[in-house]
Every structure is written in structure tokens, then in C-alpha cells.
Amino acid sequence: MVKILLDPSMYHPQLTVAEELRKAADLGYQYLELSPRADFHEWHHYPKVDDAEIARVKSAMKETGVQIWSFNPVFNWASPNEMERQHQVRNWKRLLEIAEELEVPLIATEFSGDPNQPVISEGQFYRSMEELVPFFEKRGLQCSVEAHPYDFVETNDRAVQVVRGVNKPWFTYQFCFAHMFHLGGGATDVRPMLDYAGDKLGHVHVADVFNHRANVGNRYIVNPPGVDARIHQHNEIGNGEVPWDDAFGHLRDMGYDDALSVCVFGWEEDADAIHVRMRERLEAEFPG
């Protein structure tokens, strides 16, 4: 049975992690995916969590019955710069300690690295994995990794291949619907991408997005032309062009029964209502 997770990113500026657990309970969620925030695990920085904060989070999980099911860190473990890579591996080791203390079973992360230096970045990624495998396995943690826009690998099939190269049963591929049109180079049929992931598909991020390749690329206008940047959104289902009926139907046909994480960003003025609607849609698509 799938687990529906709330990414509380839109609440980070106002709420503590303990308060986000209470918010998740109020919105009808049983699980949280904790995305980066400055006082916990921040993009590319060493985690800032002490024993007192861990105790507060444990207490809130017990009080609410909401479990942090996954951390969603972004550490540049594939950096071409070796000093930075070593620093990011240190960040990883601390985060895995925190995950063990809070009984978080899954790490959902990104490849990172540099898309302009993909070969070097891939080598650095595998080097980091060699160092971190014992730490994941010692703690019995799962890890699922996505190809994010501006990572050293940005397409679905190549990302699955890199995951296969790690060759560990606990290391899987994460498909993010908000990145669908980057993952498939503008393709509008999600089914071949999910099929290619196959049994390596271990985690799914759910949010809508418009196709930046549509209308000869004029869906978005970025200046100056050719700037080295990537664009996408994380919108509510229906506010984009992801073919949801095909997507959800195909996930059901595949027998997908892992986590679905609600990852809508940038709509704070309607956050509560959006998250309730998203949860209700997923519950209808994947009834227990």
C-alpha cells in the first residue's frame, strides 16, 4: 500500500519541524518528507540538528502519530571539486546518524554535480557512494535518487542507468513528475519513462508542471537567450500539463506500492487547501 507524504516546504519559514508534524496531522497526513531547511539539513551545508531538537521532533512524532518517513537532502556529493565532495560526504554521514535516531527509513535525494562536467561528476558520485555504502548498510537505510534539472544527469533513462551501476537493492530511482519534461526532453508520454525505471522505481514526487519545450520553447522566456539555467515549477495537480490519468493508471498497472510525496512549492497563500486536495486526489487514485 502506498504511503502519502507531505513535503512541508511551504511552511518552513513559519513553523518548526515539530510544528510541521502537527500541521501534517491537521491536514490528514500520516507521513512527512522533510525537505531542506536551515535549522535541520540545509542545501550543501552540514546539518544543524542537536540533541534538544531531536528530542522535540521525537516528542512531536509521538504526540501526533505522524512519522518522518524520508529526508530530502541536497548535498553536492558529485562535485568535481574534491574538497567540496569530501565536505558533502561528511554532511551525509551526519545526516544518516540523525535519520537513525529519528527512525527515518528513507533518504530521497538528488545526483547534484555539474551538468557541464558530467563525466567527472559521475566519477565523483560513484566515489562518494563507495565511501557511504557502509554507512547506509550499517543503519539499514534506503536511498532513492532523482535526476534534478541542472544535475550532472538530467534525463530519466540515464539516471536509471547510473542507479543500476550502484547495484544495491536498497538504492533506487526517484521519479519526480515536476521534472517530467526535463527527464524526457519534452516528451508528453510518461509511461515509457516509468517502464524504463521498472523495479528500480522506489519513490515518486507528485506535483504538476508546464512543458517548457511546448510552443517552440516560448512557454517560458529566459533572458539572455541561451543562459545556463533550468526552469520548472511544483504546482498543484491540474495546474500544469502532466498527463495524470495516464501516470496514475500506469503506476497502478506497475503495482507501485512505495511512497508518493506531495511536493507543491510557491503557493503559500493557499497551502493548506492545496495539500488537502492533493492528499484527497492521491487517496482516490491509490485507495488503501
Task: Give φ, ψ of 143 to 5 degrees.
Answer: -140, 135
Greater model confidence, 211 or 219: 211
Please give, one letter per residue, the 3-state secondary structure of 31-53: EEEECCCCCCCCCCCCCCCCHHH
The total domain count for the chain is 1
CA distances from residue 126 to 3, 151, 184, 255 in whole angstroms, order as listed: 30, 14, 24, 30
- Looking at the DSSP bridge assignments, the partners of residue 3 are 259
Q: Is it the case that residue 138 has pLDDT exceeding 90?
A: yes
Q: 102 pLDDT band (50/70/90 cuts)? A: very high
> Mean pLDDT score of the chain, rounded to an integer?
95
pLDDT of residue 217: 66
Q: Is it the case that residue 165 has pLDDT exceeding 80?
A: yes
CB environment 126-154: b (16+ within 10 A), e (fewer) = ebbbeebeebbeeeebbbbbbbbbebbbb
Q: Is it the case that residue 216 has pLDDT exceeding 70?
A: no
Domain holding 220, by residue range, is 3-285
> In whole angstroms, what is the distance from residue 106 CA to residue 171 CA?
10
Whole-structure pTM value: 0.94
Strand segments (E) across the chain: 3-6, 31-34, 67-71, 106-110, 142-146, 171-176, 201-206, 259-262
pLDDT of residue 197: 97
Which class for 160: exposed (0-12), middle (13-18), buried (19 or more C-beta within 10 A)? buried
Amino acid present at 39 = D
Greater model confidence, 267 or 231: 267
DSSP letter at 236 equals P
pLDDT per residue over 112-123, tens digit each? 999 999 999 999
pLDDT of residue 215: 67
Q: Which CATH number characterizes residue 261's domain?
A: 3.20.20.150
Please compute the mean of the pLDDT values over residues 56-64 and round it to a whole number.
Answer: 98
pLDDT per residue over 218-235, tens digit each? 677 677 777 777 778 888
pLDDT per residue over 70-88, tens digit each? 999 999 999 999 999 999 9
Share of residues in the chain with pLDDT > 70 (%):
98
User: Count of alpha carbons within 13 Å of 85, Cβ hemisphere only?
Assistant: 21
Q: Which segments of 65-190 does DSSP mark as H helices, in order?
A: 82-101, 118-139, 156-166, 180-183
